[in-house]
Structure 1
Amino acid sequence: MPHIAYYKDSFIDVNDRAIPIQDRAHQFGDGIYEVIRVYEGNPFEYHAHLDRLERSAEAIRMPLPFQREELTALINEGLKRAAIPEAEIYLQVSRGNSPRNHAFPKPQESILAMVIKEARTVSADLKKQGAALLPVEEDRWKNCYIKSLNLLSNVMAKQKAQESECHESIYVDEGIVKEGSSSNIFAVINGALYTYPPERDILHGITRDVVIRLAKELGVTVHETKVDVNEYSQADEVFITSTTMEVLPVRAFGETHYPDIRPVTDSLVSAFERYKKQMTGKL
């Protein structure tokens, strides 16, 4: 199935040479992005993703080059062209193309880029066995709630995980467990759910928010609070969440190994599957 690409004002071949050398996303990482999962041809939590994209744009003082209705029409057209039932939509907005200068260009002429491709999925074996996580030292900037293109730390952390035969790296800041390089993390302790609070220094994950809502509906107590590595080592269960990984059980975090029996995690995996079927609708 083909990848579908869009740049600035037209659909293009994904391999076309489209981005100018002085695009600020290319030279500064000056831009924002979103990844939206598509189930059976329908985007999941679409408006939550667009809300976050708009918050990120506002935070970096960058005007968006479209109205939401215009973007929705473009995405619908892209999905129609791609004809990929299980897909990912990658949206990127840069501050535009201008001679290299750190200060904002005048005027700011932001540029939208989009790629629609087959969705990445987690294997059934990994879902059953659970993921291994590697703790890494926090070294990112303090505004991780902005879904910025500046992902070098995340790239390095993910590479460290792969080289350590782990699925994901988890940032730890002075003993406090925060989030993964591309995920949020939860601990189950005495039947209650614990996860880092939605402050400026983590990404406010869309799947994270869904899981918290589902947990409360199931009667599970949720604590959005800072938890240290010692508490994680004593946790009954651990899992991570993201748009592409959904709800993924964890078998090990560093030197700590967790039981194969995961009643809270399993109940949330099932609830998430039910929610997908209920809430995945056309734009």
Structure 2
Amino acid sequence: MATPEASPLGKTSAYIDQYDAGLLFPMERKGKRDEIGINSNALPFRGVDVWNAYELSWLNPRGKPRVAIGEIFIPADSPCLIESKSFKLYLNSFNQTRFDSVRAVVEVMERDLSGAAGGPVRVILVPLSQMGHSADISTLPGENLDELDIEVEHYQARPELLRADTSQEVDEVLHSHLLKSNCLVTGQPDWGSVLIDYSGPRIDRESLLKYLISFRQHNEFHEQCVERIFQDLRRHCDTRRLTVYARYVRRGGLDINPYRSNDEAFVVDNWRLVRQ
């Protein structure tokens, strides 16, 4: 099975502008899930990785460029995630390739991405002329934690920082824009915002913010960080209903927004935040 070190990350890559599905680089989710105690055969959550592609273009049958914004939904129960640089290289390979229609591009992408991920991937392509107000900037719901006056000492993921008051039951939504982690291979920074929607013992807000900040020098992919946060909150705070949804800042024309939830009623909105 492919390893992160074998991916295109951190390596010089040729710009290939003719369609090539072989550029996609899938990686098994199982290894990282085993590391944090998630059984890949009995996931404690449902979820999806929502990708937004802002640099997407191809040629129509007469050679005229078309541009669109892509929304790609990769199910969390697929055996593989797709490494982001390979995804970018794959999208670049459409640039000088002719397609009969938008529908034809969607069908090719859904086929290739589903094959790489090992599960059904859904693709929506919206021409820029049709975007309208769907591209408006949103804000995360719930209470923001970022102005809490805390002292921070830890910058590697520390679940033991989390505390919850078992005498007080709550149902609340919290969020922070102070999430930062680093790429597992290159160590380059990944900036994000995270939403936590839960019920159960009241999570101490200061401990939660310290915990989220402790990812600041932690090296993992976006999807893995979100699953780690989900698992840590379940274990250390005894949450019953829990959703963790991160919105990461785009890199190379792509943003990745994983959500994991055990709440059947939770509906995923593909918000666009100010940094996206």
Provide the TM-score with structure 1 as the length reference.
Answer: 0.26
Relative to its length, the structure with more helix (as a share) is: 1
Superposition TM-score, scaled by structure 2 size: 0.26
